Amino acid sequence: GFKPLKVAMIGTGYVGLATGTALAYLGHQVTGVDKDVSKIKLLRSGKSPIREQGLETLLALAQDRLFFTHSTAEAVAEAHVILIAVGTPSKANGEADTQFVEAAAREVAASLLPGRNYILVVKSTVPVGTNRRVAYVVNRVLNERGLAKEVTAYVVSNPEFLREGMALYDTFYPDRIVVGAREAAGVEMLRRLYRPILEQTFDPPPFLPRPEGYALPPLITTDPTSAEMIKYAANAFLALKISFINEIAGLCEKVGADVTEVSRGIGLDPRIGLRFLAAGLGWGGSCFPKDTAALLAMGQEYDYDLPIVAAAREINFRQRLRVVEKLQEALKGVRGRVVGVLGLSFKPGTDDIRESPSMDLVRILIDRGAHVRVHDPVALDNARRALEGLEVEFFQDPYTLASGAEALVLATEWPEYRHLDLARLAGMMRTPVLVDGRNLFDPEQARRAGWTYLGVGR
Ligand code: UDX
């Protein structure tokens, strides 16, 4: 049977809010903690500070069991499980900065009550060894309070694998749940926490039906250090899968092969798999760039080279320059040229522009003297802020953007771009050059519509 738990979620950022809301929907009593008082206000009124599919609906569905406060003590005292989901930003050397995790752990430890048992879960993506460090910090604070014998607090690693835009889907229907614990009680508590997901006994929210053929997710129990490594290895592998196909794409161009055919041809081998083999402008976002950098920094700390991960990052950066080279060749130089960029978010379905290859491309083009025009269905406001002070024109509509332009770059494969009237668009251009940075369009169709079409790897 299901026994609801009292849960404290420290940090109501992307991971904390999505996971916390899902746990409340499943029946637990969840209190989200954040230092940002304006965020707490917003959340208390039922609004989400982040754009994520279904999140506001789920907030409403779970509201009876979902609370928000800026006080760690208030959330923690009565809790059975305390999850830390605060940010771990990159330091200058690429290392993930764990100061917010440690500060949260200290504050949590200062609020624990004698005579109780707690499970403290590290959900943030943290360098290997952080779990041990958090356990140490918690014990030190408990010692200082003279409560080392009166309070049990076990620290558990529980990395997440959420995709932006699919965060709730990935929470309800994960491929696996990873728990790194030293004590059996830690594993048991997380098994209880995730039981409705592990056994799929919950009623799916109306907007997130259980996918057909979905198999129950395995619970991977391991030691904390391996759990921490799993998260980094997973993201690095996905990133290098994309970089690999991008490397092959470059060679496809030279020899006259089509990388989209190659992706399908190799991906149907289940050992390779079809997903994450879309060649293009490369990967961005809040995870792959940061986590691969952190992995390299970890290698450096232990005096161990990771040449594959390093190469994946280099190739990823090179992809942007290759698009610039294509423009340079097609336009006989980009200086003074009017170039339109379609799509600014790091992937479709989000307004997130963090580490977006497209934003980087915009900066490189400006740097090389092009007149850059940009459009995005939802990320325009974020981009305006990020590009402040640079000479760039913002457009609400792709056709207006195309008017008088000398080249277009499709940089983020928003579905709405697929439905653009390519002939009409070509008709607005001064010179109809299209660099399809995500292989969104059919080359033949684009050419028939009047474009000089340049894809990636075909
Ligand atoms: C990723 C992981 O998928 C997720 O498991 C982890 O928890 C966080 O990082 P996310 O950053 O939301 O999620 O984006 P994802 O959908 O994985 O895409 C990452 C980047 O790769 C995007 O910039 C996307 O455009 C790019 N990409 C993806 C490709 O260039 N080609 C592909 O075939 C797939």
Distance 271 CA to ligand 1 centre (A): 20
| Residue 287 annotated among the catalytic residues of the structure | yes
In the predicted model, what is the mean pLDDT of residues 330-343? 98
Determine the pLDDT at residue 274: 98
Q: Does 35 carry a binding-site annotation?
A: no
| Protein residue whose Cα sits closest to atom 16 of ligand 1 | 163
Residue whose CB lies within 8 A of the most ligand 1 atoms, among 287, 317, 414, 440, for a mutation test: 287
Q: Which residue in the list 252, 287, 353, 425 is annotated as catalytic? A: 287
**What residues does each domain of the chain span?**
6-222, 319-454
Tens of pLDDT, residues 364-405: 999 999 999 999 999 999 999 999 999 999 999 999 999 999
Superfamily of domain 319-454: NAD(P)-binding Rossmann-like Domain (3.40.50.720)
Q: With left for phi above 0 and alpha for psi between -120 and 50, is residue 114 left, alpha or beta?
A: beta
| Protein residue whose Cα sits closest to atom 10 of ligand 1 | 163
Determine the pLDDT at residue 207: 96
346: nearest Cα among 286, 435, 418, 276: 286
pLDDT over 70 percentage in the chain: 100
Q: Does 291 carry a binding-site annotation?
A: no
In the predicted model, what is the mean pLDDT of residues 308-334? 98
Given a cut of 90, whether residue 335 has pLDDT beyond it is yes
Distance 387 CA to ligand 1 centre (A): 23
Tens of pLDDT, residues 421-443: 999 999 999 999 999 999 999 99
Given a cut of 80, whether residue 237 has pLDDT beyond it is yes
Atom of ligand 1 nearest to the CA of 284: 23
Atom of ligand 1 nearest to the CA of 413: 25
Q: Does 290 carry a binding-site annotation?
A: yes
Structure tokens at 6: 């009292």
Q: Does 21 carry a binding-site annotation?
A: no
Determine the pLDDT at residue 13: 93
Strand (E) or helix (H) holding 241: helix 224-255
Q: Does 162 carry a binding-site annotation?
A: yes
Cα separation, 414 vs 343, whole angstroms: 7
pTM: 0.95
| Protein residue whose Cα sits closest to atom 31 of ligand 1 | 278
The angle subtended at Cα 398 by Cα 397 and Cα 403, nearest 5°, is 105
| Protein residue whose Cα sits closest to atom 22 of ligand 1 | 283
| Protein residue whose Cα sits closest to atom 19 of ligand 1 | 283
Tens of pLDDT, residues 180-226: 999 999 999 999 999 999 999 999 999 999 999 999 999 999 999 99
Cα separation, 277 vs 275, whole angstroms: 5
| Protein residue whose Cα sits closest to atom 1 of ligand 1 | 163
Given a cut of 90, whether residue 141 has pLDDT beyond it is yes
Determine the pLDDT at residue 446: 98
Q: Pocket residues for ligand 1 (CB within 6 Å)?
A: 161-164, 235, 238, 242, 276-278, 280, 282-285, 287-288, 346-347
Structure tokens at 166: 């699919």
Contact between 328 and 258 under an 8 Å Cβ cutoff? The reply is no
Residue environment code for 303-336, b if the CB has 16+ CB neighbours within 10 A, otherwise e: eeebeebeebbebbeebbebbbebbbebbeebee
Atom of ligand 1 nearest to the CA of 163: 12
**Which residues 6+ apart lie within 8 Å of 180 measured at CB?**
131, 156, 157, 158, 221, 222, 223, 224, 225, 226, 227, 228
Given a cut of 90, whether residue 51 has pLDDT beyond it is no
Domain over 6-222 is classified CATH 3.10.20.30: no
Q: Does 373 carry a binding-site annotation?
A: no
| Fold agreement (6-222, 319-454) | yes
Cα separation, 191 vs 8, whole angstroms: 17
Determine the pLDDT at residue 68: 98
Atom of ligand 1 nearest to the CA of 285: 11
Cα separation, 381 vs 425, whole angstroms: 24
Q: Are strands 152-157 and 177-181 parallel, antiparallel or unpaired?
A: antiparallel
* pLDDT, mean over the chain: 97
Quote the ipTM score: 0.97
Distance 315 CA to ligand 1 centre (A): 16
Distance 283 CA to ligand 1 centre (A): 6
Determine the pLDDT at residue 251: 98
Distance 412 CA to ligand 1 centre (A): 12
pLDDT confidence band for 1 (50 / 70 / 90): confident
